[in-house]
Structure 1
Amino acid sequence: MKDLGELKFFLGIDFSRSSRGILMTQKKYALELISESGLGGAKPAYTPLEMNQKLTSVKYDEHADNTGAKCDDLLKNPAEYQRLSHMEAALRVVRYIKEVPGSGLLMPAKQTTQLTAYCDSDWGACVETRRSVIGYLVKFGDALVSWKIQEARNSVKRFS
């Protein structure tokens, strides 16, 4: 084995150390994404999604929307869609990233033993299946350890 010195860049993640801790960012990837999506001159978005925006599948839209509302156009370059799904929402997220492309996760230097977990659910929030959407976030001190948002898979059983 060979000692390569202090970690600076690994698997597309930039690592920078300070007295506050270790900051992990993907600024290079964020700037490439902004450039490749053609949003270099676009105004940044201040939130990643619009308030109460619901994303659905094409199959759901075909069955649910008989009003002749605006249809999604087929993409000329399928690789774009494979990299970013739900293009309109994804482009808004890219515009949000454009606001601060160097933001990242800070692993604080101060010692802690405090584990904090938050969870929330939204009953029947999925417009396609009417299942609940559940999310959680776990922090160790001030550092984010884990988070997830998912549709509930099991239905609630009622006993009478």
Structure 2
Amino acid sequence: MHSYTEIFTKPFTCFPPGYLRKGDNMVCKLNRSLYGLKQASRNWFSKLSTALQSFGFSQSQADHSFFVLRQGSASIFILIYVNDIIITGSDMALLQDIKTRICTTFHTKDIGPLKYFLGIELARSQQGLYLCQRKYTLNILSDSGLTGTRPVDFPMEQNLKLSDSTGSILSDPSPYRRLVGRLIYLTVTRPDIVHTVNILSQFMHQPRQPHLDAAHRLLRHLKGTASQGIFLYAKSTLKLTAYCDSDWASCPMTRRSTTGYCILLGSSPVSWKTKKQSTVSRSSAEAEYRAMVVATCEVTWLSYLLQHLGVPLRAPVALYCDNLAALYIAANPVFHERTKHIEIDCHVVREKLHQGLIRPTKIASTDQIADIFTKSLGRTQFQHLQSKLGIRNLHAPP
């Protein structure tokens, strides 16, 4: 969908060289917000969202690019990414009417049922929806010259610790930076490689040979799993389940811990993340408690989004953690030597616990799905957690 907005923009003083004469004091006023200008995308979204709201859509406060229209028992959902739109709903007549109104207001093109969107391939069946980035993965392998490499079963050597002072500095860091940037986008449908990509992205400023070797090993893993993606089950229960974990003082340079979480809707993964913590934790319990905070905030946001979708949230949401001390800190409001130095915002876990949104629950470390987001695991444990995460390969033989 492409359209110039009809919004007047603020004046600016960029003229072509030689247009002005010495002493002139003039400005331009654009009647149209042209592509390439800073305010163009903002003006376009403002015009599009205003038009949708005039059709009766309500804008989600959890995600401003998401719009919902309800008429009786029928619902229409619209998701926007710049000038690409996904539209779906429960009533085909109402859906077609909305599409006609959009096409009348803007110069658009209906390309039919959703099969490929922003590099993500979609396949439907009666069992559910399958999302993968097979073509995107093969392009990465082709550009890296590793299409003929031997595959490996897991993305990173177990217990590998990369640092910024070991190995020779790459003479040209551009290929490494380009590769890692493309791998970051691949994590949209590949949660199993999030931890490895997170580690590799920490050395973009000055990559060294060990970092490139680790990136090539990840590519070897992708060679054998190019068709893997996430499967969203059609008949899955609409119940949120959260897993959080932390690897205490895992960064050899800063001694900061790594946080990882994964949230499932029924048995389908809908949100996951790996991130280095912003401060150094004094104990593993503190590191795990901080991981619970991040997961709790994500659960809170997802509850708002589900509410706008009209999906009733079955609270409390089970928040699985494998650290008993962190669970005790969340349940016990008494300050003591272990918790008095923790920032106040971390105690959002207690607040949501008392509100009934979450229910912190103990889980065995061997069944902690979030382990795959915080540690480089061996083959057996990696494949075990990968299967629990809902990752599938529809192109693999049965």
| Normalised TM-score (structure 1) | 0.82
Where do residues 3-152 of structure 1 align in structure 2 (5 Å cutoff)?
3-57=110-164, 61=165, 71-76=167-172, 78-85=173-180, 86-152=211-277
Residues 154, 96 of structure 1: alpha-carbon distance in 2 compared, 3 angstrom cutoff: same
Q: Is the 8 A contact 2:133 2:229 kept in 1?
A: yes
Find the structure with the greater CA-based Rg: 2
Q: Is the 8 A contact 1:75 1:81 kept in 2?
A: no
Alpha-carbon deviation of 1:132? 1.6
Distance 1:55 1:150 in 2: 16
Letter of the structure 2 residue corresponding to residue 81 of structure 1:
Y
Alpha-carbon deviation of 1:152? 1.7
The list of structure 1 runs, each at least 4 consecutive aligned residues, that deviate by more than 2 angstroms after superposition, is: 1-4, 71-76, 154-160
Letter of the structure 2 residue corresponding to residue 95 of structure 1:
R
Identical columns (%): 43
Alpha-carbon deviation of 1:14? 0.8
Extract unaligned runs of 5+ from structure 2: 1-102, 104-108, 181-210, 283-336, 342-398
1:32-75 CA distance string (max 9 Å, x none): 11111111221101100000012222xxx1xxx6xxxxx32524
Q: Secondary structure at the match of 1:96?
A: helix
Letter of the structure 2 residue corresponding to residue 94 of structure 1:
L
Distance 1:45 1:151 in 2: 26
Q: Secondary structure at the match of 1:33?
A: helix
Moved more, 79-88 or 124-133: 79-88
Higher RCO by CA contacts (8 Å cutoff, separation 6 or greater): 1
Distance 1:109 1:151 in 2: 34
Q: Is the 8 A contact 2:255 2:280 kept in 1?
A: no
Moved more, 101-110 or 84-93: 84-93
Q: Which has the higher strand share?
A: 1
Alpha-carbon deviation of 1:90? 1.1
Q: Secondary structure at the match of 1:52?
A: coil
Residues 43, 156 of structure 1: alpha-carbon distance in 2 compared, 3 angstrom cutoff: closer
Alpha-carbon deviation of 1:113? 2.3
Q: Secondary structure at the match of 2:278?
A: coil
Q: Secondary structure at the match of 1:84?
A: helix
Residues 75, 39 of structure 1: alpha-carbon distance in 2 compared, 3 angstrom cutoff: farther
Q: Is the 8 A contact 1:44 1:96 kept in 2?
A: yes
Distance 2:161 2:247 in 1: 13
Extract unaligned runs of 5+ from structure 1: 66-70
Q: Is the 8 A contact 2:238 2:266 kept in 1?
A: yes
Q: Is the 8 A contact 1:45 1:99 kept in 2?
A: yes
